[in-house]
Chain A
Amino acid sequence: MCGICGLMMDDSNLRHSPVGSVLQDMMESQQVRAQDGAGIAIFDKSNAGDSFKIKNFRKEGMSDYTIDEIDSSSENVSEKLQKLRQDPECHFFSFENEMTILKETGLAKDLDKKYGIRKMNGSHGIGHLRIATSSRVTPYNTHPFSTTIIPDIAIVHNGEITNYNMLRDSLELEGFTFYTDSDSEVIAVFLASRILKHGDIERAHREFVAKADGPFTYIAATVDSIAIVRDKFGTRKGIIGYNPGTNDHPPFWAMATDLSALDVVGATTKIETPHPGKPRIFYRN
């Protein structure tokens, strides 16, 4: 019973918008659903540039982890990623340019306390509350998941991808690397592999829905889009709402597992559930 959420500011001026604060409110309101891990990915255009951040977990002792951050220019990023892929001890965290991913085991309020999520601005973002089902409670199994295939893609997921092994095997045969045992990681790798192949995010989502079995809803964010996608039978919840904006923030689209999470942030106009199997995509203005 994970909780997921996301939002896209509906603002052509791309003012510094309180994405972190809205996400944090939505996550805390859904905390009752899951308590094993919390994480966010926030996209802020002002971070965009020629350098990349590659983050990975480094184990410290029996149960502690620290996060290594490698700053890399566009010239040597491939070499550094290649090195990472060959390291069997690597627990990959994220590959970022404009995006920032922060995730920890534990509660959403503790994530905010540690990283100041509420102060983060941007154009869009996604959040996750994890209850562990098929993989261990570790920082590297928390969401959002991203990939080393392309930077700035992140997914959060509620449910199960029951043919995960089959999808993973086929992606590994294509040469893509996995870093965790979580079924959710396959969504990020699949989408990134398809973006690399044909560059069409909507087609990538449709292809995933066609291939994936099981009950799931996921929210995926790229630099210029956020999508909520449900399995073909609509067996996991996902709700979208719109906040028309105030003097303090621009209008935004919000999506979450629980309706109450939309209510908490005032996104209660134009409420809808995405059609099962049909990606509902919001693009950055």
Chain B
Amino acid sequence: MYTIDIDEIRALANDVASTSSGSNEFDLLKKKLHERFQVSIPEGLKNAAIEKFGDVASAPILYENLTNSILRKKVEDGENNITIKNPRALYRIGVFGFSEPINLNLTVEGNVGNFFGAFCNFNGTWTVKGHAENGLADKGYCGKFVIDGLATELVGQNNQSTNYSHGVDILVRKGCMERAMAQARGGNLVTFGAGFNSGLYMSDGVLMNLGEPGELFGAGMVGGTIYTKQGTTTGKGAAIKKLDENDYEKIKNVLRIFEGDLDIVNLDDFSKTNSRLEFTNIKQEEIDFREFEKIVADENTVY
């Protein structure tokens, strides 16, 4: 188990900035960070930080770069349980670029910024004990995310299903904002609320909205399935249909991924004739899937 406290890096960088002159600040910071974390910061970061943010120590891109470098090094060293503390909504955390799936359980204590886990390709669970901003798991290949708070726009955007990946599985406990699973080509999203235009241009995968009915779901979709409470409206290209036996099986399979996270107690018995599920998300609830409908591509739409 390894913990990265980003406030520790901030304190170190501020200490270097307060005790060194502008010309040698970057070199000294680089040396200290290498001593402490055995990672290097690229030379190009110096100019980018100064040009954009006036100095190195206050530049968010320093902390993004360092956090990802430290995570990458720890994964290469064989660590597979890491906690990040005090992320303060840093953008682009967990963007690695490993060529093969990695094994990593990651817990983030706080909010994450845009594109958390973009291009992700891992086995394990990444948990955010806070909110997530735009593009959570954007273009992800595989992995499981549990977001305790809200997620803003484009959750699971471009979720990828390929010959070698099944897509990313995402649970958002307090709900997503606009265009969740936009252009998804695979994967599963379970959310307690989804904003306008969710499922936009979906071609595969499942969006399961367990919250209030949504608006303009599925515009331009050509594949995939959206399960949502009755009352949801669709965009052009999407059709609302009743659930059949196969849908109950599909819903069961998707919820199985988050069975432990949602404390679902009677999932084994779930079927069209036994359509109620008890679970605990923010609070204990019961959902009757007879109140649900599915949204799929409208085969009669001509583009």
Contacts and interface: CB of A to CB of B under 8 A. Distances in A.
B150 A260 contact: no
A239 B52 contact: no
A234 B91 contact: no
Interface in B99-113: 111, 113
A35 B59 CA distance: 11
Nearest to B112: A260
Interface in B277-303: none
A263 interface: yes
Interface residues of A, number: 21
Contacts of A110: 54
A259 B53 contact: no
A273 B177 contact: yes
Given A32-B60, A259-B133, A263-B89, A234 B53 contact: no
A77 interface: no
A273 B133 contact: no
A260 B196 contact: no
14 contacts: A32-B91, A35-B52, A106-B54, A107-B54, A234-B196, A234-B197, A237-B134, A258-B133, A259-B150, A260-B88, A260-B113, A263-B130, A263-B131, A273-B178
Contacts, number: 55
B93 to A, nearest CB: 12
A123 interface: no
B60 A271 contact: no
Interface of A: 29, 31-32, 35, 106-107, 109-110, 233-235, 237, 239, 258-260, 263, 271, 273, 275-276
Nearest to A271: B150
Contacts of A109: 54, 58
Interface of B: 52-54, 58, 60-61, 88-89, 91, 111, 113, 130-131, 133-134, 150, 152-153, 177-178, 195-197
B197 A259 contact: no
Given A31-B60, A32-B91, A276-B196, A260 B177 contact: no
B209 to A, nearest CB: 15
Given A35-B53, A260-B89, A234 B133 contact: no
Given A234-B195, A273-B177, 12 more contacts: A29-B89, A106-B54, A237-B152, A237-B153, A258-B89, A258-B113, A259-B111, A260-B111, A260-B131, A263-B89, A271-B150, A276-B196
A32 B197 contact: no
B285 to A, nearest CB: 20
